[in-house]
Structures are given as C-alpha cells and as structure tokens.
Amino acid sequence: MSNSPLVSVILPTYNRAELLSKSIESVLSQTYTNWELIIWNDGSLDDTDKVINSFKDKRIYSYYDKNHGLSCVLNAAIKRSRGDYIAFLDDDDQWTGNKLSHQMHLLLANPQVDVVFGNFLNINLATGENGFGFNQNRYSMSLLENENISADAFLITGNFFESIGISNFIAFDTVVIRRDFADKVGDFNENLRNSMDYEYWWRSALVGGRLAYINTVVLTRIKPPGSLSSSGILTYENKIKGLDFCLQASLAADRKDLVHYLDRPYAGAWQNLIRLYGSSGDRQATLKAFFQSMRYGFNLSSIRLLFESIHMSKVVED
C-alpha cells in the first residue's frame, strides 16, 4: 500500500477515554495502511491524553486545545492534515478492518465519485435498540435514483434532497471524501453544536457533489447515553438551526425548488420539542413548538403531542 494515496483520518475526542482506545485500534487494524491519524483532544478533563500517548505508531498525530466544539475541531484537524482523501471517525465508534480498503478501491476505480459512505451497525446504548443503518433508513434510501458502479456500490444520480429530507442515512464516520471536493464544499459550520454533518451533506449536493455508497458494513456506530445524538432539547434546537442553514444555502444557490424537502425534518424537530418542552414544564415553549410544527401542514400527531405535553407540564407543576 506504500504507493496508495494517503488518507487523513480525523478523530475528534472529548471525555471518552474509556472508549477511545477501541476507536484508535480500529484504525490501526486497517488492511489499507497508507493513512495518518489526527486525534484532536477538545479540552478533555479525563485520561484522554494518557490513552492517546499509549499508542506509539508514527502515523498518529495528536493535538490538544481548550474545548471549542466538534465543528471547530474538525476544521482545525483538516487544516493540519496532508492526505488526498479525508475520513472521519468518532471517539466512541469502531471501523471494520477492510473499511478503508473497500472505499479507496471504489474511489480509485471511479474518479467521478466525490464522496463515498457505507452501511453500519447502529448500537444505541441509551435506548437498547440495535440494527443496520441502511435497514433503519430503508424508506428514505428507496427513493434514491442510483447507478450500479460495482457489485456492491451505487452512485446516487437523483432524488438526494428528497431522500435525505426524510432521514439522514449518511453515518458521518463511514465517509471518505476527496480533499479537492472538501475544499469546494468549505468548512463545517461552526455555528452548529450538532447536525453539522446533515448541513454539510446538503451543501455537498448543492455544489454538485457526486455521492456513492456501498452496502458493506464498514462501521460499528455506538451511541452512549448523553451523546450529542441523544434526544434532548439542545439536540433538536440545533437541528432546527441546521435546517435554517440548509434553507439559506438553497435560496443563495437559487434552488427554491428544494425548500419543501426541508418541511418534514422541520416538522419532526418541532414535534419532538413539543414533547421535550412539555416534560420540562415549559408551557410557553411547548405552545411555540406546536404552532411552529403546524406551519408545515396540519398534523394530528402535533395535536396529540400538545395535549400529552400539557398533561406532563401539569404533572411537573404538581
């Protein structure tokens, strides 16, 4: 693999010392060996530095700065990277051994592909639910128009915005992206605490990105309780902020035709906030979330959630 292109693996970490070593080991075990691993410690207060320093591989580079948040870390790490290709890994997830080999083979054989992502095993420790990501997003992915470019790989040729408007089927750390295309898309949005990946894929497609995927499982994705992807008020407030940026980017690109594909995720986020505000006892915010959800069409689910939330807020008061 010495003559193969260099892949820069970006691994941001924050207070995950107990899980980080398995993520690093999953990179070390790759059958594709021409990589550099950039670990960025985002102000951790646990034994993260001790874990990082226990690995002696010369391909590993580590950096530390005070806590700035995921988007800032991703941008800073990418600027320090050298590879022609960029891959991402969360500090609580693990790649399969052939992950990079599968995806680099596709990218090298298909120069028209800018981004490739893959299937993944989803383990949610907060809910106890397990399953394969493509199965869990089966309906949204069934709307994609595809061109079969190898036995297990598909180039997306249409309906990307319609499909991702239903659910985000791209697991961030299954992705490999060409650096020249990443430069075209621009930085991750540092105004977002989460949902920066969704906003980034939306912009990627807006600038004409050619995305492909493989059905092969390339990742075990673990969601521990309290992760950014767990269901909380801040998560959904940031999701709405991310959707706002997608809306603004679409209008700036003169693609008003895409705006209605955001209606469903907007409505879903506001519906979740009806429930969450209600459970917190905030009636004013609950009502606001209800009226916002109804902007995207009359929905009996919103009405049901409103009554349930009013009941919950009374219980909180009592």
Q: Which pLDDT score, from 0 to 100, does residue 279 have? A: 87
Output the pLDDT for position 281: 85
Supply the pLDDT for residue 184: 97
Contacts of 318 (CB under 8 A, 6+ apart): none
The C-alpha atoms of residue 194 and residue 177 are separated, in whole angstroms, by 20
Which token pair is 182?
A: 């990443």
Mean pLDDT across the chain, nearest whole number?
Answer: 92
- pTM above threshold 0.85: yes
pLDDT of residue 4: 85
Q: What is the pLDDT of residue 196?
A: 95
pLDDT at 316 over 90: no
CATH for the 7-223 domain, from 3.40.50.720, 3.30.565.10, 1.10.357.10, 3.90.550.10: 3.90.550.10
Answer yes or no: is pLDDT of 1 > 60.
no
> Is 228 a residue whose pLDDT tops 50?
no
Give Dmax over CA atoms of the chain in angstroms.
68
Percent of the chain with pLDDT over 90: 81
Tell me the C-alpha distance between 310 and 287, whole Å. 9
The pLDDT-based confidence of 197 (bands split at 50, 70, 90) is: very high
**Average pLDDT of span 4-32:** 96
CATH topology of domain 233-317: 1.25.40
In the chain, what percentage of residues exceed pLDDT 70? Answer: 94
Nearest to 170 by CA among 196, 193, 208: 196
Decide if 52 contacts 62 (C-beta within 8 A).
yes
User: If we measure between CA atoms, which residue out of 78, 118, 88 comes closest to residue 102?
Assistant: 118
138 C-beta neighbours (distance < 10 Å), count: 12
- 229 pLDDT more than 80: no
How far from the centroid of its chain's Cα atoms is residue 89's Cα?
10
pLDDT tens track for 20-78: 999 999 999 999 999 999 999 999 999 999 999 999 999 999 999 998 999 999 999 99
Query: pLDDT tens across 287-312, in order?
Result: 999 999 999 987 778 888 887 877 66
Residue-wise pLDDT tens digits, 69-124: 999 999 999 999 999 999 999 999 999 999 999 999 999 999 999 999 999 999 88
Amino acid 20 reads: L
- In the chain, where the domains are located: 7-223, 233-317
Decide: residue 122, CB within 10 A, 0-12 exposed, 13-18 middle, 19+ buried: buried
Cβ atoms of residues 227 and 220 within 8 Å: no
pLDDT at residue 177, as a whole number: 98
Going by C-alpha positions, the residue among 107, 85, 88 that lies closest to residue 173 is 88
